[in-house]
Structure 1
Amino acid sequence: MILSQLSALALSLFAPATVKLTGTIETEFEEIWSVAISSDGKHVLASEFSGLRVYDLATKKELVHSERWTEPCALASNAPIAVAFGGAEIAALDFPGLKPSRSIPLKAVGMDQSAPTAIAVTRDGSGACIGDDEGRFAWIDLKTGKVRQLHRFKGGLVSVAISPDGRMAAASSSDSEVLVMKVGSGEVAARLNGLEEVVGTLTFSADGSSLIAGSDDGILRQFDAKDWSEVSRGRHQGIAFCAVALPGSSRVLVASAGESSENSRISLLSLPGFKTLAFADVKGGIWWLAVTPDARTLVACGESSKIRIFSVAD
């Protein structure tokens, strides 16, 4: 008995890391804008051109369809809620039911006529950062409904990220500017240096000790969250479109593609150094990633009618 347990432990310790396609959810549309996963890891929310849809991850069946948002939405989920940013509002929704618990108009910060490009939600679901194609970067208090513009970039917002403790927010724009700001005061904590190309994706490490930036020159950079200095970098295949930290791990998942976007690669990378531990190649561009809280399942969407489901072992 003890020997068999030790053997199983040894196999788990030395088993290779994997990112493996395990299934797909078929939809009626050519493209899926964004996805989010529920806090229990059982449901996936997708923004399609006919509204929002909730699917059961196990059965792949559609559970809920809301036509309230018929334009592309930027989605995120934490705690027991999902947050949808699109049209003239940002809304906190119960997940998976999609009943709005709070709807906040965005006219106050001039974002009611612009296109949503990026969103990140705090770990406890109390706040969100959003960005639009006109360069506005705003903080939303999802409990009080207060909206505050943190910064106006010259270029459109490309990516945003919130630290695990909810105190810092990072944003990148199409003119290659990257700022880290204090959420409470709106004070600029850092301007990241050495970035000549557009940073297409930002994500904090799971423990909040570093910020990961992937730029259009194919380089991934890791910045120390203490002084925002660059501590490591690695060259990745193609342009990094989106990234997500693996919960409870010093790993990060990155989706990238070549210039044609005909094929994409989802890679599991270690920190520091961005060593490739495992990868999966898929057809079409990948725009959005979401991972379950147990770090074992990844969903991806983009230039395809399918939501792809991957198992992850690190």
Structure 2
Amino acid sequence: MRMALLSMSPLRRGPLAVMLLLLVLLGMGPAARAEEAEEIPEGKGIHPAFAVKNLPDAATSVALDPTGKTVAVGSYDVVELWNLSEKKRIAKVPTKSGFVRSLTYSNDGTHLYVGGYQGITPVTVADGTISPKWKGHRGYVTDLALTPDGQSLVSCAEDMTVRVWNVADGTERSKLGKFTDPVTGVAVSPDGTLVATTSGDETRLTRPGEIKVWKLATGEAVQTLTPHQKPPTEVTFSPDGKFLATTSFDERVNVYDVETGKALGFFGGHQRPSTCVAFFPDSQRLVSGCGGRFQGGAGIRVWTRDEGEVVDGVDFETGKVTDLALSADGKRLAVALDTKQAIVYEVEADDVRPKAEGRNGGQSGSGGVVVVPAETLPRSLAHAAVSPFAAAQEDKAAKPATQEKPETEEKAEPPKPVKPIKIGLIGLDTSHSVAFTTVLNSAKTKPGFEGCRIVAAYPWGSRDIESSKSRIPEYTKKVEELGVKVVDSIDDLLPMVDCVLLETNDGRPHLEQALKVFKAGKPVFIDKPVAGSLVDCLAIYQAAKEYNVPMFSSSSLRFIPESLKARAGEFGKVFGCDAFSPCSLEATHPDLFWYGIHGCEILYTVMGPGCETVTRASTKDADFVTGVWKEGRIGTFRGIRGGKGGYGGTVFGEKQAVPLGNFKGYEPLIVEIVKFFRTGEPPVAPEETIELYAFMEAADESKRQGGKPVSVKEVLEKAQAQVKARLDSLR
């Protein structure tokens, strides 16, 4: 592959250039990133104009101004606008919306629409000013498409919705269709009558997802197209409106006839998941990009629609292609890469067009379109030019044939990919945060934890419990040393992560913190105590249900092996259990919520739900709580404040009485959390956790009443009556 220098030697550019370079090196002047001398990969007719480098994170989107004046590049919390002719940045727009997943210009190039976290932000291109965000989506906005008349904008998002917006005032006009997976791509036909969508879940690669075509005016689904083998990632119409192209995790680019909905075939010249695609103005050639989790194999290919012949391309040694944009005249190509850069290329039309001479010296292909001989391609592309296109209807399971690679190019089959999970921490006032980070961010990943990493943390929890807030500086330093970025707010954290560990030691702020997470649609584990009151506990579970967000809460003591065996019936029917744990008190919380939760969790793991009445005896050094379950079963909890403490108990089974062992560390709980993050299935039913907290609240009420039996049901009903008002106060 040939390489191109972005700038010539300063000596060849004259004294002024040398002076400017010296000023930059001495720190006396700004360095324009587009002018850095850099070797950039290029193709036969695809030559680099300049690169946008040193972005804060991956370049996640790119768009070219229809008037040919500017290019926009999206990254984390920012969009950069660059003048194409001068190769200079003209604006750096702070979006504060996490990763900019999608960009599109207005038809006259005066405005840019930015799809980020939970909304669309209009930007005035001339000065980079931001208008109020258009809100409605939950999760990231994954794609945007403007109608030809410029009056409507169609958006899609992770929240499984497609929305149509009025460009004039940013109001939502309608929702389009119903989806069961995140919507990954959207496109509007050149005549403005149709909308094409792709939807699929990248965490469930065995499900092919859907490709559908809708009437924009009525929202009626008119076609469901033959799917890919794995979830699709993007969709686009050809300029003549006759064809659709879609990309996918199956590494292919499918082509469809719009009128009939027939799958015409697929391009198989990519070695990694295909991520983006665009048609050239003639509708006969396409350019597509690819890249995945593994190094190598990423790049762009220019190929013919009818034969799938590769006529040009560029390979990238590292990173992946996240997005591309092709100008309306096909002469300029912008490519976004996850290596914190984007590259603008000039495209020589004659060099990316099929030649008159085919591989055998004659005409080939339909309609006079012929192929470039494989020997004229760069070596890294030649293997893909043999027969990468095949009829999709013939054999969906067949892989495209490829030319045998030289021995030096062979590589081992990569391991089966594991979906990475970026985890956020809320609360660095507990040792749990450090313990969990130490396990998940270890240099030697343990089986079952592959791909899971804590990437960001918001430190604050308690502001008035000295034993908690005094730990924050120490624990902040420790997690930073483990590679965690500490942020200033939960709002800053949420766009960076897939799931959340709500670890705040103080249960009182949990409801308010959890509501932010629920609104963002992020699965969450809430560490003990789930809340600072039974009312807040009920409100948290109700809000999770309303927002349809998976959550669970548990003490690590639930996962003592003997407790789980008892629950599974290995010791026969359980007639009773005596559990114990330390039980220090905190004046701001119900007595057992703060630390007695550990022993109560052991008790409920063995006994299960169904407790009817609770009685409590309490002294300075101990608590003794007795619960009576249905069928007359009895369970007890001893909370220890005087003498040597510990964790454990005894299960009284039909077959034998068995000691429950002791605390086994945090890893059994972390195993369950990771499973939960991957599946969305909590290991503990909400009803059981709610009853557990009602049991502890009933114990407090029994103490207040001098040790009288208290009904768990009545305690729950009293708290439930206050939930609506509590939630309303925070919304």
Give TM-score scaled by structure 2 length: 0.38
Q: Distance in 1 between matches of 2:143 and 2:152?
A: 14
For 1:37, the equivalent position in structure 2 comes to 64
The within-5 A match list for 1:263-302 is 263-282=297-316, 283-302=318-337
Q: How far off its partner does 1:190 sit?
A: 0.6
Indicate conservation of the 8 Å contact 2:119/2:140, yes or no: no
Measured in 2, the distance between the counterparts of 1:261 and 1:139 equals: 38
Deviations 1:34-83 (A, max 9, x none): 11111221211122224222112233322112224442222112412321
Give matches, 1:80-159, under 5 Å. 80=108, 81-99=111-129, 103=132, 105-107=134-136, 111=137, 113-143=138-168, 145-159=171-185
Note the 1:214-233 alignment, pairs <5 A.
Answer: 214-233=247-266
CA contact (8 A) 2:228 2:250 kept: no
1:7 corresponds to:
none
Report how far residue 104 of structure 1 moved.
5.8
The one-character-per-residue Cα deviations of 1:161-197 (angstroms, maximum 9, x if unpaired) are 1111121111111151111111110000111124332
Q: What's the counterpart of residue 200 of structure 2?
A: 174
1:253 matches 2:279: no
Q: Deviations over 1:131-188 (max 9, x none)?
A: 1112111222313533311123211112221111121111111151111111110000
Whichever residue aligns with residue 157 of structure 1, its letter is V
Distance 1:172 1:306 in 2: 26
**Structure 2: runs of 5+ lacking an equivalent:** 1-42, 202-208, 353-731
Provide, for residues 74-112 of structure 1, a one-character-per-residue CA deviation record: whole Å limited to 9, x for no partner. 211241232112244324433343345x656323xxx1x
Structure possessing the higher relative contact order (Cα contacts under 8 Å, 6 or more residues apart): 1
**Which is worse superposed, 73-82 or 186-195?**
73-82
**Shift of residue 263 of structure 1?**
4.5
Partner residue of 1:12?
none
Give 1:13's aligned residue: none
SS of 1:152's equivalent in the other structure is coil
- 1:76, 1:83 within 8 Å by CA — same for their partners in 2? yes
The corresponding residue for 1:236 is 269
User: CA shift at 1:294, angstroms?
Assistant: 2.2
Contact kept, 8 Å, 2:177 with 2:221, in 1: the verdict is no
Alpha-carbon distance in structure 2 between the residues aligned to 1:186 and 1:304: 39
Corresponding residue for residue 6 of structure 1: none
Equivalent residues of 1:208, 1:225 under 8 A apart: yes
Are the equivalent residues in 2 in contact too, given 1:48–1:70 (CA < 8 A)?
Answer: no
* Secondary structure class of the residue paired with 1:217: coil
**Contact preservation (8 Å) 1:78, 1:123:** no
- Partners in 2 of 1:299 and 1:206 — Cα distance? 18
Change (3 A) 1:50 1:103: closer
Contact 1:89–1:103 under 8 Å retained in 2:
no
Contact conserved, 1:220 with 1:274, CA < 8 A, in 2?
A: no
Equivalent residue of 1:203, what SS? strand
Change in CA separation of 1:236 and 1:48 when aligned onto 2, cut-off 3 Å? same
Q: Which has the larger radius of gyration?
A: 2
Shift of 1:249: 4.1
One-letter amino acid of the counterpart of residue 123, structure 2: L
CA 1:43–1:194 in structure 2 vs 1: closer, same or farther (change >3 Å)?
A: closer
- Describe the shift of the 1:197–1:69 C-alpha distance in structure 2 as closer, same or farther (beyond 3 A): same
Contact 1:77-1:125 at 8 Å conserved across structures: no
* Counterpart among 19, 26, 49 of residue 53 in structure 2: 26
Give the match for residue 78 of structure 2: 51
Q: 1:294 to 1:266 in 2, by over 3 A?
A: same
Displacement of 1:25 in angstroms is 1.8
Contact persistence 2:95–2:121 (CA under 8 A)? no
SS at match of 2:274: strand
1:297-308 equivalence runs, <5 A: 297-308=332-343
Give the structure with the higher percent helix: 2
1:89 and 1:105 in contact (8 A); partners too: yes
Partner in structure 1 of residue 243 of structure 2: 210
| 8 A contact 1:153–1:173 mirrored in 2 | yes
Distance (Å, rounded) in 1 between the aligned partners of 2:228 and 2:118:
32
Percent same amino acid among aligned pairs?
A: 19
SS of structure 1 residue aligned to 2:98: coil
Q: Quick check: 1:263–1:281 contact (8 Å CA) kept in 2?
A: yes
Superposition deviation, residue 230 in structure 1: 1.4
Q: Between Structure 1 and Structure 2, how many residues are aligned?
A: 294
Kindly provide the amino acid, as one letter, of the partner of residue 201 in structure 1.
E
Distance 1:293 1:266 in 2: 18
Which residue, 228, 241, 245 being the options, matches 1:195? 228
Matched, 1:60 2:60: no
Q: Which range moves more in the overlay, 175-184 or 20-29?
A: 20-29
Q: Deviations over 1:228-259 (max 9, x none)?
A: 11123331222210111223442211001355
Per mean C-alpha deviation after superposition, the further-off stretch among 176-185 and 253-262 is: 253-262
Task: Give the partner amino acid of 2:140.
Answer: A
Contact 2:119 2:141 in 1 (8 A): no
Quote the Cα distance in structure 2 between the aligned partners of 1:216 and 1:27: 28
Rounded Cα–Cα distance in structure 2 between residues aligned with 1:129 and 1:206: 18
User: Which stretch has the larger CA shift, 78-87 or 195-204?
Assistant: 78-87
User: Which string of whole-angstrom CA distances, capped at 9 and with x for unpartnered residues, describes residues 245-282 of structure 1?
Assistant: 22344221100135515442111111223221111112
> What amino acid sits opposite 1:285 in the alignment?
K
Distance 2:280 2:129 in 1: 29
Residues 301, 266 of structure 1: CA spacing in aligned structure 2 closer, same or farther, 3 A cutoff? same
